[in-house]
Structure 1
Amino acid sequence: MQEPLLGAEGPDYDTFPEKPPPSPGERTRVGVLQSKRVLLAAFAAVLGNFSFGYSLVYASPVIPALEHSLDPNLSLTKTQASWFGSVFTLGAAAGGLSAMVLNDLLGRKLSIMFSALPSVAGYAFMAGAHGLWMLLLGRMLTGFAGGLTAACIPVYVSEIAPPGVRGALGATPQLMAVFGSLSLYALGLLLPWRWLAVAGEGPVLVMILLLSFMPNSPRFLLSRGRDSEALQALTWLRGADADIRWEFEQIQDNVRKQSSRMSWAEARDPHMYRPITIALVMRFLQQLTGITPILVYLQSIFDSTAVLLLPKYDAAIVGAVRLLSVLIAAVTMDLAGRKALLFVSGATMFAANLTLGLYVHFGPKALTPNSTMGMESVPVAGTEQPLVTPTSYLTLVPLLATMLFIMGYAMGWGPITWLLMAEILPLRARGVASGLCVLVSWLTAFALTKSFLPVVNAFGLQAPFFFFAAVCLVNLAFTGCCVPETKGRSLEQIESFFHSGRSVLH
């Protein structure tokens, strides 16, 4: 009889040994965080995620501004607004596709640095735009850079981080993406849309400068036969006084076992396709929760519902809540474990999406519906919705429910999905598979973001929220039956588990 994958740990079933055999590496792990170099290398890399988060939500304050633009070449129609919001995800999908090659060809660090070229060019096009084509091209280029970094940065961070703090460091890509989004919302209160694009150039340039002094991934260097460089990189990361022999030998042994690239025949091997399938499905389900269309159209969503505060202030508040939630996840991920946070995250998002759907369906209408959404001017499904003044406390519901959704996402399915992708993918397939995960993720995001406004106009704003709520229930079931607990395990231990022959399904 096949065993279930990664059930609750107990005396009869244990995912991994609770404690690995004593080794010199155990004695050095306590002092690893004292080496600020690991943190510096991670920070330099995740500046790319800051730019990604910034550019992802760039459309949120810009779409309302361009809809009312006096320049006929820049004024957006409903269809053009949906393309401006969604074309970023097409670029991100292309970036994920390119990462399947660049991750293993250039290495993790150089691939991250390469992403600066399309990012800088994209911001320049948007800052100097005098026509729709320049806006769309700029969005696509920044999306390409975001997709490339989304595939490369989690892998780089996971490969330089020691097991004991990989959860906390693994949350930093999502943390910086959230901080980037919050920065955009905050600057959107102060700057016109062209200067928002100019401001996006700064973090990219700082990233290039810092990464120039950082080492490449020791695992990548070993996979290319550059053993001496790998030893120097690991020594730099752990500190000159650390005993890295055990860790280096463990990585070296694992790399030797996987000295060649994965073939298509090997892709049918369970120890290869199981972790890849888990990572792919998690990225697919992550996007189906609705996170991307909600972030991209956040201000427009608030414009179309009765809200107490101005929509642009609501968007900034939601960004701050998202940042706080990721900070909580980073602190608790190595304490509570990945699966516990995924369960809490999925349940919270379900409650939030259901609340938003019910509020839109039965609650009050906005007095001045937004032109982009264009669907609240008539009662939905024959339900007479009362008009309310902005002083009604009932109008806090959209803001509170959105804050709850963002909090749930940022505490679990946001950062942990990226972290697990980097943790469970086999070394031989890590570069290609991480790019494939990002490709699937952003193609799904494009489909959702492009169809969001047409669906809202056809069926009402409550329809997508009810769909997102149903997906959250699927996420809970998938977490329970298929997602591994990787807390405190080395990448080599995790990979050994998938070699053990245990089945993914019951």
Structure 2
Amino acid sequence: MKLCMLKKLIREKLIIQQSEILLYLKSQHCTLMVSASIRSSQKPNKDGIRSPKIPGSALDHDNIDYRESQNSLTPQHKIKRAMTKNQDIERDENSLQEEIKVPLISQEKRDGNVENGNGSELQIKEERFMVYLSTFVAVCGSYAFGSCAGYSSPTQSAIRDDLSLSLAEYSLFGSILTFGAMIGAITSGKIADYIGRKGAMTVSSGFCVAGWLAIYFAKGALLLDIGRLATGYGMGVFSYVVPVFIAEISPKDLRGALTTINQLMICTGVSVSFIIGTFLTWRALAITGIVPCAILLVGLIIIPESPRWLAKNGNEKEFEAALRRLRGKSANISEEAAEIQDYIETLEKLPKAKVLDLFQRRYLSSVTIGVGLMVFQQFGGINGICFYTSSIFESSGFPADVGTIIYAILQVIVTALGATLIDRAGRKPLILVSAFGLVLGCLLTGSSYYMKEHGIAVNAAPALAVTGILVYIGAFSAGMGAVPWVVMSEIFPINIKGVAGSLATLVNWFGAWACSYTFNFLMSWSSYGTFILYAAVNALAIVFVIKVVPETKGRTLEQIQTAINA
């Protein structure tokens, strides 16, 4: 009997010990899980140590109350409590794992979001790096354009003296640049459509390099004129293909600012040529014109082709690869790619456009906007005022060299400011503010000539003339100089972009020639009347922009076409 009782007690003792061991292991497991949860969300203390315990909890086996309550229990109560706790712990463990899992997942998501938040700027920069690089390479062509345009002014006397050129021969050297640019404008669209935007920039760079070398080695008027004609042709192609390429590769939120850099770099090229031409020989200045072309040719090897041109020509794999490079490896390009493809497929159903097709009803709005802006840009007087700034300053009694330096610096600064505003303020507001400034500048300058001719406040006339010219140049640089090129690159459907872009560029160059050619004749007719006439043209530009030109800010090229044709 005693032996049976002893065996029973031993068996109960073993069961109690096993239950307590099981309870301990379970509780320790839960404690570790809770500690892990705490560590995942808890900040370290000042010593950098996280506490894994929950003091005073039922799971803390170092707690005094817990030990005393365990010692006071009978074996039967211990068994029952152990079994109950075992079941409760299993239940609690499952629920605790779920509760721990959710916060950990949420925390992981939050951490991921924080990391993405902190790294979003870096990620955006990485995704847009290729767009920025491609734009930089392309605007080397714009800088080359400016170098060509600004070359003749500081080198006139030196070239005439070294090569014994007559005034008529040097005048031909200066004006033949415009004729070369007009030829380049006529062919630029076809070249860009046939061999691509990169191919067109390569051809343009080749002509510029050949032209600069011809000028450098010139011993007489013939080679000098051939070189000038070649650089003019390169300018004409650059003037079309650079803004079009930038518009086609840029995301919609950057397109305006990046396209405006085209005009900024033209201004920079002109200004740098003015400045360094004062201390370099005319042959050395010609060599500096090769530098941007060389950078462009090397850069074209690295950057991708326009995705829209690739899609238009059926190069589907190359199209997706180019778009992926421009938008970044992690970017979702499916929506943009589908939109471009759908638009291209719609255009493929239409016949290839010719010049006469531009005047069909469905294209008339785009052509009117693109060509109209070029007309108002040039016939508002910019090239006449630009080419004869020095004489205007001299005739008004202001030092010509000081005025020219102020003119060049102001042009670059205001153009850069316009580039930062174009995607914030929009295209139309910038053109309208610019046109109002042009009207004001013309009226101020015209008033100064009127006062001088009629003997009214003669001492104030020079200051008024200088103020008017600087207001005019600042206003032109703020909007009318760059924005028409931006809109031209956006406004034409891709199936007529080559033909329509060539027409708009040709009109621009013709306007530049006509304005510069007629300026002296108009000034001899009436100096103040000339500026009143320019003011009237710029006032008409305000009406044209308000009534006809749409806002293209924040829209894809395909959305712009939908809005125009609606």
- Does the aligned pair in 1 maintain the 2:163–2:219 contact within 8 Å? no
1:305 aligns with 2:396: yes
Q: Report matched runs for 1:45-194 at 5 Å.
A: 45-63=138-156, 69-71=160-162, 73-77=164-168, 80=169, 82-194=171-283
Deviations 1:9-31 (A, max 9, x none): xxxxxxxxxxxxxxxxxxx9996
Partners of 1:182 and 1:267 lie apart in 2 by: 37
Q: Report matched runs for 1:222-261 at 5 Å.
A: 222-259=311-348, 261=351
Amino acid in the other structure paired with 1:416: V
Deviations 1:25-84 (A, max 9, x none): xxx999655421100001101110111112113232233555xx445722425xx55544
Partners of 2:163 and 2:416 lie apart in 1 by: 43
Partners of 2:460 and 2:443 lie apart in 1 by: 19
- Does the aligned pair in 2 maintain the 1:97–1:439 contact within 8 Å? yes
Which residue pairs with 2:134 in the alignment?
41
What TM-score results when the alignment is normalised by the length of structure 2?
0.73
Q: 1:31 to 1:416 in 2, by over 3 A?
A: farther
Which residue pairs with 1:322 in the alignment?
411
1:342 aligns with 2:431: yes
Which residue pairs with 1:414 in the alignment?
481
Partners of 1:469 and 1:228 lie apart in 2 by: 52
Deviations 1:279-315 (A, max 9, x none): 01111111111222332333343344311x3x23321
Q: Which moved more, 1:293-302 or 1:238-247?
A: 293-302
Could you tell me which runs of 5 or more consecutive residues in structure 1 were left unpaired when the two chains were aligned: 1-27, 364-379, 501-506
Partners of 1:31 and 1:473 lie apart in 2 by: 46
Q: Report matched runs for 1:491-506 at 5 Å.
A: 491-500=557-566
Amino acid in the other structure paired with 1:436: L
What TM-score results when the alignment is normalised by the length of structure 1?
0.82
Which residue pairs with 1:285 in the alignment?
376
Choose between structure 1 and 2 for higher RCO, CA contacts under 8 A separated by at least 6 residues. 1
1:262 aligns with 2:352: yes
1:482 aligns with 2:538: no
Partners of 2:146 and 2:435 lie apart in 1 by: 22
SS of the residue aligned with 1:191?
coil
Could you tell me which runs of 5 or more consecutive residues in structure 2 were left unpaired when the two chains were aligned: 1-119
Q: 1:421 to 1:185 in 2, by over 3 A?
A: same
Amino acid in the other structure paired with 2:306: S
1:467 aligns with 2:533: yes
- Does the aligned pair in 1 maintain the 2:446–2:529 contact within 8 Å? yes
Q: 1:430 to 1:70 in 2, by over 3 A?
A: closer
Q: Which moved more, 1:444-453 or 1:241-250?
A: 444-453
1:271 aligns with 2:337: no
Q: 1:203 to 1:72 in 2, by over 3 A?
A: closer
Which residue pairs with 1:23 in the alignment?
none
- Does the aligned pair in 2 maintain the 1:87–1:139 contact within 8 Å? yes
SS of the residue aligned with 2:253?
helix
Aligned residues: 444
Amino acid in the other structure paired with 1:489: R
Partners of 2:178 and 2:219 lie apart in 1 by: 22
Which residue pairs with 1:437 in the alignment?
504
Amino acid in the other structure paired with 1:423: E
Q: 1:153 to 1:52 in 2, by over 3 A?
A: same
- Does the aligned pair in 1 maintain the 2:137–2:300 contact within 8 Å? yes
- Does the aligned pair in 2 maintain the 1:96–1:151 contact within 8 Å? yes
- Does the aligned pair in 1 maintain the 2:256–2:419 contact within 8 Å? yes
Amino acid in the other structure paired with 1:49: S
Partners of 1:275 and 1:30 lie apart in 2 by: 38
- Does the aligned pair in 2 maintain the 1:271–1:498 contact within 8 Å? no
Partners of 1:217 and 1:483 lie apart in 2 by: 26
Amino acid in the other structure paired with 1:447: A
Partners of 2:488 and 2:122 lie apart in 1 by: 25
| Deviation (angstroms), 1:122 | 2.0
| Deviation (angstroms), 1:159 | 0.4
Partners of 1:361 and 1:195 lie apart in 2 by: 43
Amino acid in the other structure paired with 1:399: V
| Deviation (angstroms), 1:357 | 2.2
Deviations 1:345-378 (A, max 9, x none): 0010111122222223433xxxxxxxxxxxxxxx
Q: 1:190 to 1:465 in 2, by over 3 A?
A: farther
Q: Which moved more, 1:138-147 or 1:338-347?
A: 138-147
Which residue pairs with 1:13 in the alignment?
none
More helix per residue? 2
Q: CA RMSD in A?
A: 2.5
SS of the residue aligned with 1:426?
coil
Which residue pairs with 2:13 in the alignment?
none
Partners of 2:423 and 2:346 lie apart in 1 by: 29
- Does the aligned pair in 1 maintain the 2:397–2:462 contact within 8 Å? yes
Deviations 1:426-458 (A, max 9, x none): 1111122111110111112112222333443x3
| Deviation (angstroms), 1:481 | 0.7
Partners of 1:394 and 1:197 lie apart in 2 by: 39
Partners of 1:471 and 1:42 lie apart in 2 by: 33
Partners of 2:503 and 2:329 lie apart in 1 by: 37
Q: 1:386 to 1:481 in 2, by over 3 A?
A: closer
Q: 1:433 to 1:358 in 2, by over 3 A?
A: same
Amino acid in the other structure paired with 1:150: S
Percent same amino acid at aligned positions?
A: 31
Partners of 1:81 and 1:447 lie apart in 2 by: 19
Q: 1:400 to 1:91 in 2, by over 3 A?
A: same
Q: 1:125 to 1:466 in 2, by over 3 A?
A: farther
| Deviation (angstroms), 1:268 | 4.5
